[in-house]
Structure 1
């Protein structure tokens, strides 16, 4: 008896994490090479993920989901600024550099083909929701909490991109300066 489609996809995702880690397969590997490493036929990957970009999007979405669970576990009572610092530490870690490159590559593709990256785009704002909840706990109004969280995520993503483009820039210092500026809710 065949397993349901979603179950097969989940097993493949787990196999991808087991084989390649949270960054997923490197940019230099084709779908056939990835399939060989997983000991499956490449058509199985195409069936479940559609394309190399689709496979990468699924891996990054799952990695982000896992990261967000770790970030959320820092404590349900953590405030907005400490949560921003935690998020920055997770995503600015040098071990995530390849994944950060892949993220921005997929974001660029999604700008041109949003329908092809629907799943990837759908959960891209999970961090903003976590931050919004923290801002509400810190006394921000709902509207201000939403805006503050969007600003924080956009700035951190911009700093991550800047770090990829100009690695010698003092990105961590700029991030800390920005995060510190977010400390108090508007009057």
Structure 2
């Protein structure tokens, strides 16, 4: 059944990564618009860097690396790996009053992925959270609702 549906074990891994990415984008797109975009970004970061998601994040980077090495089985992951995120991120940034949010969305995606990779490599949660907080403040301003930008939970 595995070969019938996914072609191989590796095809299954690619499908899993794409499904996780789909869920993450849906979560970002379905944010509660009662808070500010900075609040939404902080909540999304806290979700992404939760220890429960670490195995999925490691799998994402493993398969992503395989695509960059030209592994044919991983090529389906490249479809939309950046472009599918730009819509939800652009919407969040536009809601935050960012003019021309497209380049900001690409930057936010790159910074988020880089900090997730940093977190997985070092386990330095407080330091990585501080870097994300700085980035969020530079991009969106301070978090409202009486809190700070992303911090450890």
With the shorter chain as reference, the TM-score category is 0.7 to 0.9
Q: Which residue of 2 aligns with 1:99?
A: 56
Q: Which residue of 2 aligns with 1:172?
A: 129
Q: Is the 8 A contact 1:49 1:55 kept in 2?
A: yes
Check if 1:130 corresponds to 2:88: yes
Alignment partner for residue 152 of structure 1, among 108, 124, 129? 108
Give unmatched runs, 5+ long, in structure 1: 1-43
Residue by residue, what CA displacement relative to the aligned partner does 1:92-130 show, whole Å, maximum 9, x if unpaired?
010001111100001101112275434322232333321
Residue by residue, what CA displacement relative to the aligned partner does 1:12-59 show, whole Å, maximum 9, x if unpaired?
xxxxxxxxxxxxxxxxxxxxxxxxxxxxxxxx2112212222111111
The whole-number CA distance in structure 1 between the counterparts of 2:71 and 2:105 is 23
Over aligned residue pairs, what C-alpha RMSD do you find?
2.2
Q: Which residue of 1 aligns with 2:144?
A: none
> How many pairs does the alignment contain?
139
Check if 1:54 corresponds to 2:1: no
Normalised TM-score (structure 2): 0.78
Residue by residue, what CA displacement relative to the aligned partner does 1:144-178 show, whole Å, maximum 9, x if unpaired?
30110111110011011011111136211211111
Give unmatched runs, 5+ long, in structure 2: 142-153
1:89 CA drift (Å): 1.5
Normalised TM-score (structure 1): 0.65
Q: Is the 8 A contact 2:93 2:105 kept in 1?
A: yes
Higher relative contact order (CA 8 A, sep 6+): 2
The whole-number CA distance in structure 2 between the counterparts of 1:131 and 1:78 is 16
Q: Where in structure 2 are the equivalents of 1:70-89 lying within 5 Å?
A: 70-75=27-32, 79-89=36-46
Q: Which residue of 2 aligns with 1:65?
A: 22
